A and B are shown apart, each in its own frame.
Chain A
C-alpha cells in the first residue's frame, strides 16, 4: 500500500545531502514525503519567529529537495505571516511557479491573527491545504502556539479552505472533540507517541475520511508512527484512506503545477 506522509521536516544533519536518509526510508515504505524546511540546514537552530529572508532560504531548500527527489517529495511553503506582504508574495510565488502544494504554519503568530487569514485565502485560491501547527499541552502552550479551538475557528472562517490540524491537536481525545464539527479540517497524526486507541478516537469522532498520516520525521521514526494506523482495529479501506487516499485527493485537487512523478490520482479519480 503506498503511503503519503504529510509531516516531514528537513532540519537534521549538516547538509541537505543528509536528507537522503529520509528518502531511503520513503523508498523502504513506498511513501511520498510532504516536506517543509523550517530552517536552512546551515542554521544552527529553529526560530519561532523567523524573518522573511530566513523563510525564503528554508523554502529554497525544500525546492531543492523537490527537484532532487521528484518521485518522493512534495513541498509545503513555510512563511511567517507577520511579514504580511513579503509572506504573501513568497507563498504565491512558490505555489504559482515552483509547484509547492501547501502552506506550513508553525507558531510565529497564533492563527486568530488576520495576517494568517490572508495566507489561507491564497491557499484557497490555489486549492492547496494550509497546515497549522497545534499542540495542546498539559504544561501550557509555547510562544505563538495556536490551541486546537483557534484552528477550528480559522477553518470556520474559511469553509472552502482545507486546513490540516498538525498532530491532530496534540491530545487526540481533545482534538477529536474540537474538530468534530469542522469538516474542512484534516487531522494529521504526526508526532505523538503511539498510544493504543488514539487513531480510533479520531476516526470515531471525525470519520476516517478526515484522518491523514504523518510522521514528524526526523524527530520521530517512521515505524512508530505507522504503528498507530496498522495497530488500530480498522478496516483495510479505512487504513488506506488514512495512509494514502485522503491526502492523495487533496493533492490531486491542487491548482499548482506539481512537480514529481509519484502516483497521485487526478481530480475526480478514485483517490
Chain B
C-alpha cells in the first residue's frame, strides 16, 4: 500500500497525533502502509520554504525506504526558481507540491506558468493541494477556501504533457476537474478528502477510471483509516481495482 498524499510536521491550530516521523511510521506499520509521499506540513505557512524542504530531505533520507518526498514550491515568493534549482540539484526532487490558496498566487499567473513549464521539461510530478481541512472549521483569522476546480482544470489543460496529482479534493471538486479537462492521460486524483457521498470510491472509479485514482490519507491532519477503509469496504469495485488504487497507480506515478 502506498499513501500518495501525506505530510510530516506540526500544524498551527491543534496538536496532531501522528505529526512526527516516528509516530507516523508506527501508524503506517499498524495499517500495513509500506510507503508514503510526504511534504513538510510547516511549509504551508513558512515563508522560506527551503527551510522546510531541507528538513523534509533529512527526514526522508533517514527513512528512504518508507518516505517519498514532495517538495513545496511557492512561485509567488521571491527566489522560488533558485530554490527550485536547489531542490532539484541538491535534494534530488522529482515531485513538487503547490498550495496556491495558502500561498496566495494564481495557478494561471505568469510565475506559476513558468514553474509548470520547468516541471513539464524535467518530467516532475506536480501535486496541487486543493485544500487541507474543511473551510467551515478554519481559524476565523485564517479562512482559506479550497482552490477553485475551474482554475485547476484550466491549468491542466494548459500543460497536457505535464503530470498532475490533484490532492485533498472533495468528490464534487475532483469529478468537476476531471470532466473539465480535455486530455486526462497525465491527471490523477487521490481520495483523502473524498469522504462521501455513499459509494464514493466506486463513483470515482466510474467517473475517472480505476487507473487514475490513488489512495491518499491527508495524514496527519486526517486519520489514514478514512481513505483506507473507504477503498477496502467498497463493494462495487473489484479486488484488482482496489489493488490499483492502493498501490499500482502510485507505484507507476512515483516510479516505486
Selected contact of B226 from candidates A137, A173, A231, CB within 8 Å:
A231
Residues of chain A touching chain B, judged by Cβ–Cβ distance below 8 Å, are 12, 21-22, 24-25, 28-29, 135, 137-139, 170-171, 173, 192-197, 200, 216-228, 230-233
Secondary structure of the B side of the interface? loop
Complex Cα gap A93–B112 (Å): 63
Selected contact of B221 from candidates A22, A196, A200, A228, CB within 8 Å:
A196
Contact assessment for B136 and A135 in the assembled complex, using a CB-CB cutoff below 8 Å:
yes
Can you add 8 more A-B contacts, CB < 8 Å, to A139-B136, A217-B197? A193-B193, A193-B222, A195-B223, A221-B196, A223-B229, A226-B229, A227-B226, A231-B225
CB contact under 8 A between A196 and B134, given known A22-B198, A221-B196, A223-B230: no
Contact assessment for B196 and A227 in the assembled complex, using a CB-CB cutoff below 8 Å:
no
Residues of chain B touching chain A, judged by Cβ–Cβ distance below 8 Å, are 14-18, 133-140, 143, 193, 195-200, 219-226, 228-230, 232-233, 235
Contact assessment for A194 and B195 in the assembled complex, using a CB-CB cutoff below 8 Å:
yes
- A173 to chain B: closest CB distance in Å? 7
Contact assessment for B18 and A196 in the assembled complex, using a CB-CB cutoff below 8 Å:
yes
- A14 to chain B: closest CB distance in Å? 15
Which B residue sits closest to A171, measured CB to CB?
Answer: B137
Contact assessment for B195 and A218 in the assembled complex, using a CB-CB cutoff below 8 Å:
no
- A244 to chain B: closest CB distance in Å? 18
Interface centre among B15, B136, B193, B199 (most CB of A within 10 A): B136
Contact assessment for B233 and A195 in the assembled complex, using a CB-CB cutoff below 8 Å:
no
Contact assessment for A196 and B235 in the assembled complex, using a CB-CB cutoff below 8 Å:
no
Contact assessment for A221 and B198 in the assembled complex, using a CB-CB cutoff below 8 Å:
yes
Selected contact of B197 from candidates A195, A220, A228, A230, CB within 8 Å:
A220
- B74 to chain A: closest CB distance in Å? 24
CB contact under 8 A between A218 and B223, given known A223-B229, A224-B230, A226-B229: no
Complex Cα gap A228–B232 (Å): 16
19 inter-chain pairs at a CB distance below 8 angstroms, sorted by A residue, are A138-B139, A139-B143, A170-B137, A171-B136, A194-B195, A194-B225, A196-B18, A197-B14, A218-B198, A219-B196, A220-B196, A221-B196, A221-B199, A224-B230, A227-B223, A227-B225, A227-B229, A231-B225, A231-B226
Could you say which residues of chain B place their CB within 8 Å of the CB of A218?
Answer: 196-198
Selected contact of A196 from candidates B17, B135, B137, B229, CB within 8 Å:
B17
Could you say which residues of chain A place their CB within 8 Å of the CB of B196?
Answer: 216-221, 224
Contact assessment for A233 and B133 in the assembled complex, using a CB-CB cutoff below 8 Å:
no
Contact assessment for B235 and A28 in the assembled complex, using a CB-CB cutoff below 8 Å:
yes
Complex Cα gap A29–B234 (Å): 12
Contact assessment for B137 and A192 in the assembled complex, using a CB-CB cutoff below 8 Å:
yes
- B166 to chain A: closest CB distance in Å? 17
Which A residue sits closest to B140, measured CB to CB?
Answer: A138
Selected contact of A193 from candidates B134, B143, B228, B235, CB within 8 Å:
B134
Selected contact of B198 from candidates A21, A231, A233, CB within 8 Å:
A21
